[in-house]
Amino acid sequence: MIIEILCTGTELLTGKINTDDAYLCDKLMGISLTVNRIITVGDSKDQLKAAFNESLKRSDIVFTIGGLGPTFDDLTREVVAGALRRKLVFNREVMHYIAARFARRGLDMPENNDRQANIIEGAKVLSNKHGTAPGMIIEIGEDSKKKFVIMLPGPPGELKPMVEANVMPFLKNKYERNIVKTLVLRVCGLTESAVFEKIRDVVEVEREMEGNILSFALLASSSLINVKITGKGDDELLIDSMVHKARQEVYDCLGDNIFGEGRDTLEGVVGRLFGKKKLTLSVAESCTGGLISNMITNVSGSSIYFRQGVVAYSNGAKISMLNVSGDTIKKYGAVSEHTAKEMAAGVRGISGSDIGLSTTGIAGPSGGGGKKPVGLVYIALAKDDGVFCKKYRFTGSRLVIKEGVAVTALDLVRRRI
The pLDDT score that the predictor gives to residue 232 is 86
Q: Across-strand partners of 378? A: 360, 391
Give the separation between CA 116 and CA 344, rounded to whole angstroms. Answer: 56
pLDDT for the residue numbered 39: 97
Contacts of 95 (CB under 8 A, 6+ apart): 114, 117
Nearest-CA neighbor of 358 among 267, 305, 284?
A: 284
Q: What is the pLDDT of residue 211?
A: 67
pLDDT of residue 233: 86
Q: Give the separation between CA 79 and CA 83, rounded to whole angstroms.
A: 6
Q: Which domains does the chain have, with CATH numbers?
A: 3-175 (3.40.980.10), 179-261 (3.30.70.2860), 266-416 (3.90.950.20)
Torsion of CA 111, 112, 113, 115, to 10 degrees: 120
Name the helix (H) or strand (E) containing 329.
helix 326-332
What are φ and ψ of residue 340, in 5° steps?
-60, -40
Going 216 to 219 to 224 to 228, the CA torsion angle's sign is negative
Taking a C-beta distance cutoff of 8 angstroms, is the pair 74, 134 a contact?
no
Write down the pTM of the prediction: 0.76
Q: What angle do CA 200, 201, 204 make, to 5 degrees?
A: 85
Task: Pinpoint the alpha helices (H) of 85-178.
Answer: 92-104, 156-162, 168-175
Residue 199: partners with Cβ closer than 8 Å, 6 or more residues away: 216, 227, 249, 250, 253, 254
Q: What's the one-letter identity of residue 126?
A: L
Beta-sheet strand order (sheet of 355-361): 306-311, 281-285, 355-361, 376-383, 386-393
Helix (H) or strand (E) holding 50: helix 45-58
Specify the pLDDT at position 212. 74
53 burial type by CB count under 10 A (0-12 exposed, 13-18 middle, 19+ buried): middle
Q: Give the integer Cα–Cα distance in Å for 310 and 317.
A: 9
Residues 279 and 354: beta-carbon distance below 8 Å = yes
DSSP string, 285-308: ESTTTTHHHHHHHTSTTGGGTEEE
Note down pLDDT in tens along the chain; length 417 residues.
899 999 999 999 998 989 999 999 989 988 889 999 999 999 999 999 999 999 999 999 999 999 999 998 999 999 999 999 999 999 999 999 999 999 999 999 998 899 999 999 999 999 999 999 999 999 998 777 899 999 999 999 999 999 999 999 999 998 877 788 899 999 999 999 999 999 999 999 887 776 678 989 998 887 899 999 999 888 889 999 999 999 999 999 999 999 999 999 999 999 999 999 999 999 999 999 999 999 999 999 999 999 999 999 999 999 999 999 999 999 999 999 999 999 999 999 999 999 999 999 999 998 877 789 999 999 999 999 999 999 999 999 999 999 999 999 999 999 999
DSSP letters spanning 362-389: --SSSS-BTTB-TTEEEEEEEETTEEEE
With beta carbons less than 8 A apart as the criterion, state whether 287 and 402 touch: yes
Contacts of 29 (CB under 8 A, 6+ apart): 180, 182, 230
| pLDDT score at 349 | 97
Q: How many residues does the chain have?
A: 417
- Cα(299)–Cα(209) distance, integer angstroms: 41
Q: How many CB atoms lie within 10 A of CB 272?
A: 15
